[in-house]
Chain A
């Protein structure tokens, strides 16, 4: 029997034990995460793997990647630090910061090569949108 080879862009989900450990730490600071069929349906409308609602609430699809989990925890911290006002420009700035955090800590966070590639692409896209919005080089 053959195993169908995974495409080069396949992103491994975060191991369940690791995910639960991180969520336990998040809950200890008052955080709440929701990860079930309902959130998966909700997120699928925006083709999203996860969503940070505020500093203490994150929605996850059922098998999020390492990059998605660490990114949303980073966004939750940005919310708690008062960095997020919800405007489009602010969202782009916060996303640039989050992607840079992931790339600068890729080894520590054990991001896979496909995740690193996707994060680089996302960073480029957010920077381009920010440049278009601001009309200047960043």
Chain B
């Protein structure tokens, strides 16, 4: 059969047209049969998006397509002029970007934007375009398909916008759809719905698709063929099942190993039982605090936890669950409204002003994004030297020696000390970010999504480093993440946050098998497995059972609106009790026989 998409010897360069040009992509060949799905997988800088964009005849500013042939059906894309390309884009080839929220114009209604490609290319009149859009909304399982088009982007969630962008891409009935990391920015529970909707919609249109991603497990659900890329070259190409089951290339195996971090063993010396950090009945949020100690806009509600010396607590939840707020309360950036926070046996003052320098030193906060957490005006030596001087009074040669030791500890060469941070890679920056916390010789490090912004391979290396440091230095961590795989790999205890409440809390062994809290169940069940066909096996969740009106003013379960195990009359009227499960965890739920 004649391939639908055929790319041969593709070469993309950046810079001038002469020899000084840097080759970004070289020697890439692939074909996709009509209706097939090819996945481009690799780390950042692997050229996967660059390759996908060449199929629209597009190279990012400063880059150009320097060689090779790109054919779509019987069209030679490289032979098209600007006009020909403009006619191609958005009509025969459609693109779905990573951040739909940034791709929609906030001042226009959804429908006006979704039908735009069809109107620009003169495919249909406005009325039939709107009818087609509504049928696509329905196919993509969007709520209220008939009226959702009259809303504005800010009124919709990230997952809904991502599906609406798919509707915009599919409205002209394109031959080829390019999906560029379309679920990377979504919560895992949303991702599964979006993946399912994409797969169904692309298949029912009979379109050929290119799926760009760094996540092998997601790719396993979507693709027929996989192309593994590294530094602009193909490392391995083949059918999805073959690559997932018997990868031939070393690099592919590295990627697979990093995708699912193995559990790190707990340190040999069992952590002592005396709690280092103990939080009881913590409420925190924004706005005025009432007489009962409840803030106007609560973010954290009734949180209690304890971390022993040398232990690791994982805090997991989706965006908006309050997990970063928890770290900021412990760090002193946000004052708690009520409840107690004790550190090393003494009460920890709520604000920064009342804390002692020793308390500052013993609790260190590491932010998610090293790009913004390291001051671009400072060199590595400045960044690491400051806490050494501030807490330990180290100056001159002693400080330099300690900086070199710290760099060695985080496995970076000592000659990096004089460099500015802007010249370092993402992984190196995150190590410096960590080393700054280590320089204080802390007892507790608050890690806020420290691996989320990194490539999987780099993130796995940071996790290994954290586990090693814990063993060597006896550190305790509060490890905040949205990824249950990461948390299970490194933490002794795990707390699941939903809507600011700890819905489940227990040792990591309790998270290997059910029973779980209904939300934990949803979370665990939404993480794609590293094999094809997983998505199909996951039955579509039944809609939550119908319930009567909730009792006004009652302190009800936060998960109630989404819970598939909710019970009318019980969950709608009473505050859920905290119950102990045989697996070792405590959950906040009414359900007599917890799910599964």
Q: Do A and B come from one complex?
A: no
Residues in B lying within 8 Å of A, measured CB to CB: none
